Amino acid sequence: MSQTQVPVGTASVSKKASVDSPWRRFIRRFRRQRLGMVALGVVALLLLLMAIGPAISPFDPTEPDYDAVMEVPSAKHWFGTDDFGRDIFSRVLNGTRISLAVGLCSVFGGALIGMFFGLTAGYYGGKYDGLVMRACDVLFAFPGILLAIAIIAILGPGLPNVVIAVAVFSVPIFIRIVRGETLALKNKTYIEAARATGLRDREIIWRHLFPGTISVVLVYLTMRIGSAILIAASLSFLGMGAQPPTPEWGAMLSSGRDYLTTAPHVAMFPGLAILVTCLGFNLLGDALRDALDRKLTD
Amino acid sequence: MTQNLLNVSELEISFKTESGTVTAVAGVSFALQQGETLGIVGESGCGKSVTSLSLMRLLPNPPGRISGGRIELNGRNLLELSEREMRDVRGNAISMIFQEPMTSLNPVFTIGRQIDEAILLHKSVSKREARALTIEILKKVGIPRPEQIAKDYPHQLSGGMRQRVMIAMALVCEPQLLIADEPTTALDVTIQAQILDLMDRLKRETGTSILLITHDLGVVAEMCDRVLVMYAGQVVEEASAEALFAEPKHPYTVGLLNSIPHADRKADRLPSIAGSVPSLTEMPNGCRFAPRCPVAIAKCHQQNPALVQVTEQHKARCWLAQEGGEARV
Amino acid sequence: MSDVLLDVRHLKKYFELRGGLLHRVTGHVKAVDDVSFSVRRGETFGIVGESGCGKSTTGRTLLRLLEPTEGQVVFDGVDLAKLGREEMRQKRREIQMVFQDPYASLNPRMTVADILAEPLRAHGITDRAEVDRRVSQILTACGLSAEQARRYPHEFSGGQRQRVGIARALVLNPKLIVADEPVSALDVSIQSQILNLLQDLQGEFGLTYVFISHDLSVVRHISDRVGVMYLGRMVEVGDAETLYNRPLHPYTQSLLAAVPIPDPTQRRQRVLLQGDVPSPANPPKGCAFAQRCPQATDHCHQVRPELQEIEPDRQVACHLYEVS
């Protein structure tokens, strides 16, 4: 016994005091990406504006001022004013909260539901899996925006219903990716080892499969937020989402459309806001994907 | 030294990693004569596979790089050749077989077509002549019904058959040197015996030199004339096969030989080498084996010995062996 | 208390082959085809055979990681094949497994401490102090230090990871360990460390091993009794010493002859076994080995030989030794 009691091979374990956890490695890789860091900055700023935007906006976003209609950007009105004389800067600022809230809520909701079905369908397989996948196929058969419009048509216009509509069409996407990841993980020996030691199914799903899929979900989640915001804006643009005078970017874009030649700033600033937000989330998603340790997900 | 087919001197290979550049192979030298079978044994990470890849200049670069030394084939330094000249050497003067034959065969082409192409690349023959040569070589490596098998795809063959095809492909241009990197590791023992037998027979028929990379000392004993033992990127011992197994000079070789269980006799307990191979980033200053060596003296921890001739048959990288002392435990 | 801990009787595991447009069952792969053997308390039973012979499937079917198609697995008087899901889960406390690949068998996202605590928690041992105590105790027994528990698998070498894998199997204090090629992925010098560890632990905890490997030398070294498998069938079972010194079945004979001996002075002319193993989806009608057997007769091709006890503790499935 004497020989095996000695701790062996200390040479290959790094002598650093700290433990090289997967999380630390992720941070190290992420910080190497310049564009990703910029995107992270943009997203952080947006989240900050979401919290404090209304407090720092110089004007009431819904209060008309008929003395200052369609003014071009100036020192007083940074982004100019719209056809009711409302300060566009204040409206864009307040719109951040709405757009981000819609994007985050719908995507998180969709991801949560998608992960549940994806994990269980992938793990249990069989008839249940078939049923879930056919349901996904049905949802996939509709182009995304059409599905959202159909849901709005049933539920009626309004922001809460936009959230539901966008969430519903995110669900099948998350089911697919989580199920795919689960199928790959399920064949790993450590899952078999977990079964062999006597873990229950729910423990295997929760402790082994869920943490394994979370990294991929995080990437898609981030990227989906950008497109969810875009879809929500499109719905509002079509008059099915936020109703006037709510300062929603899509709705603002829609009302500015009539003055595109005479007063382009009315449509331009909410449009830019959508662009920057989508770009920010997409680039962040890209950077997350690159930073994720392939050795872990493989 | 001029009659040597292959002369490798002071070969150094480095790798770029996340934590900086590491030296995977540090000053490896050896020679290979015409018709000889030289074995390189060592455990994973000792640098044996990297060495063999670098002979073909097939080392993935980046991250790997041959950072020093010479590789001379018939007196010509391969490291100075252009990529184009090198292409002519590969598969022609030197060819290689790998551990997993499936990954080295293209799944979308038939066996016959792949061997045909290897021939057409290096020989000026017609397609018809190439196919005739293909059939002939397939027959030679013991493939039954070679005409039909040539029309099969790789996945239709068993592992042993695939390795035969790989050997056929490697030998079809009558190379002077065949590098076999763990050629039988993925195979079952009865199939391994078939393949080893085949390699041995072909070597005697064609006079090809073989460089056999393996971790299996049994395979070495059956196949090799001379053996290099590698540890942590260096050659620690070089000897004729008989001398190495009868009288190993380096404590690592001794430990390795002692630690293998035998099918023909039973030991109560296997003597084992404590600890594990040092990582490339944390190489000891002295002898690289010193931290695990049961007979290490103070000097071993301070200075890395050179590989020197200790007997007529033997070179060893060990202070004790050089001082005529016993390396045995 | 019976001398026999594990008694496997007529175990079968068939995998369905499906094909065609309607995904119908078109055939069966008989991975394990009527295998019987018994393992005594405290001994090491080695199962040896080439790839595809069904040795790993047998191991997994014992633990019901794969559901047996037919047959009995009597463990300590209880037929595991008849247990319900939850009963079987509870029973896993007493039968554990060590896997081949120490890289794939540990979850890369968990620390060693978590990996070792998991089986304890799954079986209702949740007290933190108790869990910590047992984790560090088993780590020390397996030749690792308790402070290494904080680390992640990728920070360990292959041999150390296999020690963690063994520790996980032992932490519940089981009676039986099924070890599936536990040293095949390891280097020679590490292999001997792990083999010694397994032997030490067997003495210390009174364990019984089913040791599955393709490596004849390793199996000989560690086993008290050995079973040789070929194409889903057990062709020879016996005491390790006698089986290796005097192999009876022609397959065992050629298998042993094919092992390269690490001694260049013993280079010999091998008797080479011709051809490949037949497909288990379409096994021969008679003896599975008949096609490659140098001594096969017509009878061998027609009738499948049964595993018969031909001398004390020696069973062979071969017509050559049949006592009529």
Kindly write down the DSSP assignment for every residue of C185-237, as one continuous string: TS-HHHHHHHHHHHHHHHHHHT-EEEEEES-HHHHHHH-SEEEEEETTEEEEE
Task: With residue B230 as reference, give the H or E element that holds it.
Answer: strand B226-231
Contact yes or no for B316/B250 (Cβ under 8 A) = yes
What does the pLDDT read at residue A19?
67
C145 lies in some domain = yes
Regarding predicted confidence, which is higher, B78 or A11? B78
Distance CA(C10)–CA(C27), nearest Å, equals 20
Q: Which of A6-10, A59-63, B163-167, C269-273 has the lowest mean pLDDT?
A: A6-10
Distance from CA of C241 to the nearest CA of A (A): 25
C12 lies in some domain = yes
**Can you read off the two tokens belonging to residue A293?**
């340790």
C323 lies in some domain = no
Please check whether residue B255 touches A, CB under 8 A: no
Of B173, B182, B214, the closest CA to residue B98 belongs to B182
C-beta atoms of A196 and C65 within 8 A: yes
What does the pLDDT read at residue A18?
61
Out of C214, C220, C222, whose CB is closest to B263? C220
What does the pLDDT read at residue B2?
47
> What residues 70-89 of chain C have any CB closer than 8 A to a CB of chain A?
89
Domain with C284 in it = 4-316
Of C164, C210, C175, C167, the closest CA to residue C91 belongs to C175
What does the pLDDT read at residue C1?
60
Residue A183: pLDDT above 80?
A: yes
CA separation, residue C87 to residues A46, A124, C75, C83, C176 (Å): 54, 20, 13, 6, 17
What does the pLDDT read at residue A16?
43
Q: Distance between terminal CA atoms of chain A?
A: 37
Distance CA(B155)–CA(B159), nearest Å, equals 9
Q: What are phi and psi for residue B40, nearest 5 degrees?
A: -115, 115
A165-173: average pLDDT: 88
Of B220, B224, B258, B252, the closest CA to residue B236 belongs to B252
* Percentage, residues of chain B above pLDDT 90: 31
Contacts of A198 in chain C (CB under 8 A): 89-90, 92-93, 119, 122-123, 172
Domains of chain A: 22-56+77-292 (1.10.3720.10)
Task: With residue B227 as reference, give the H or E element that holds it.
Answer: strand B226-231
Out of A3, A9, A15, whose CB is closest to B276? A9
Out of B222, B255, B259, whose CB is closest to C260? B222
Residue C225: pLDDT above 60?
A: yes
C-beta atoms of C216 and B217 within 8 A: no
Residue A8: pLDDT above 60?
A: no
What does the pLDDT read at residue C241?
92
Residue B256: pLDDT above 70?
A: yes
C141-145: average pLDDT: 92
Contacts of C160 in chain A (CB under 8 A): 8-9, 12-13
Residue A104: pLDDT above 50?
A: yes
B223-235: average pLDDT: 93
Q: What are phi and psi for residue B67, nearest 5 degrees?
A: -100, 5
Please check whether residue C93 touches A, CB under 8 A: yes
Distance from CA of B18 to the nearest CA of A (A): 10
Out of C65, C193, C200, whose CB is closest to A8? C193
Domains of chain B: 6-224 (3.40.50.300), 250-322 (no CATH)
pLDDT band at A294 (very low <50, low <70, confident <90, very high): low
C-beta atoms of A3 and B276 within 8 A: no
User: For residue C124, what is the domain's CATH number?
Assistant: 3.40.50.300
What does the pLDDT read at residue C131?
94
What does the pLDDT read at residue A14?
41
Q: Which of A26-30, A279-283, B286-290 has the lowest mean pLDDT?
A: A26-30
C-beta atoms of C122 and A198 within 8 A: yes
Give the mean pLDDT of chain C. 90
C291-308: average pLDDT: 90
C322 lies in some domain = no
Distance from CA of B288 to the nearest CA of A (A): 12
In DSSP terms, B72 is beta-bridged to B7, B77
Give the mean pLDDT of chain B. 87
pLDDT band at C62 (very low <50, low <70, confident <90, very high): very high
Residue in C closest to A190 by C-alpha: C105
Residue B16: pLDDT above 60?
A: yes
Side chain identity, residue C123: H
C148 lies in some domain = yes
pLDDT band at A182 (very low <50, low <70, confident <90, very high): very high
A210 burial type by CB count under 10 A (0-12 exposed, 13-18 middle, 19+ buried): middle
Domain count within chain C: 1
* Percentage, residues of chain C above pLDDT 90: 69
Task: With residue B77 as reference, give the H or E element that holds it.
Answer: strand B76-77
Query: Of B16-20, B86-90, B192-196, C137-141, which one has max mean pLDDT?
Result: C137-141
C-beta atoms of A9 and B279 within 8 A: no
What does the pLDDT read at residue C270?
64
Distance CA(C30)–CA(B153), nearest Å, equals 26
pLDDT in tens, B73-108: 988 899 998 888 888 888 888 988 888 766 778 888
CA B259: distance to chain centroid?
22
C-beta atoms of A198 and C151 within 8 A: no
Of C222, C232, C293, the closest CA to residue C13 belongs to C232
pLDDT in tens, A44-71: 999 998 888 788 888 888 788 788 777 7
Those residues whose C-beta lies under 8 Å from the C-beta of residue B254, and which sit 6 or more positions away, are B248, B327, B328, B329
Please check whether residue C105 touches A, CB under 8 A: yes
Please check whether residue B44 touches A, CB under 8 A: no
pLDDT in tens, C232-250: 999 999 999 999 999 999 9
Residue A7: pLDDT above 60?
A: no
ipTM score of complex: 0.84
C167 lies in some domain = yes
C134 lies in some domain = yes
pLDDT band at C137 (very low <50, low <70, confident <90, very high): very high
Distance from CA of C204 to the nearest CA of A (A): 9
> What residues 262-301 of chain B have any CB closer than 8 A to a CB of chain A?
272, 274-279, 282, 291
Neighbours of chain A (3+ CB pairs under 8 A): B, C
Out of B272, B274, B276, whose CB is closest to A12? B276
List own/partner pairs for A193-196 with CB under 8 A and 24 or more apart: A193/C97, A193/C99, A193/C105, A193/C106, A193/C165, A193/C168, A194/C107, A194/C118, A195/C65, A196/C63, A196/C65, A196/C92, A196/C96, A196/C97
C293 lies in some domain = yes
Distance from CA of B250 to the nearest CA of A (A): 21
Distance CA(A252)–CA(C25), nearest Å, equals 61
Please check whether residue A193 touches C, CB under 8 A: yes
Distance CA(B97)–CA(B203), nearest Å, equals 14
Of B312, B317, B329, the closest CA to residue B236 belongs to B317
Contacts of A25 in chain C (CB under 8 A): none
C172-195: average pLDDT: 92
Side chain identity, residue B295: V
Please check whether residue A5 touches C, CB under 8 A: yes
pLDDT band at C177 (very low <50, low <70, confident <90, very high): very high
Out of B193, B194, B217, whose CB is closest to C262? B217
Residue in C closest to B160 by C-alpha: C276
What does the pLDDT read at residue C167?
95
Residue B30: pLDDT above 90?
A: yes
What does the pLDDT read at residue C196?
93
Alpha helices, DSSP H, located in chain C: 55-62, 85-91, 112-122, 128-141, 158-170, 188-205, 216-222, 240-245, 250-258, 298-302
What does the pLDDT read at residue B324?
63
Distance CA(B82)–CA(B74), nearest Å, equals 17
Contacts of C155 in chain A (CB under 8 A): 13-14, 19-20
Test mutation, C85, C109, C157, C160, chain A, max A CBs within 10 A: C109
C-beta atoms of B276 and C258 within 8 A: no
Residue A1: pLDDT above 50?
A: no
What does the pLDDT read at residue A297?
41
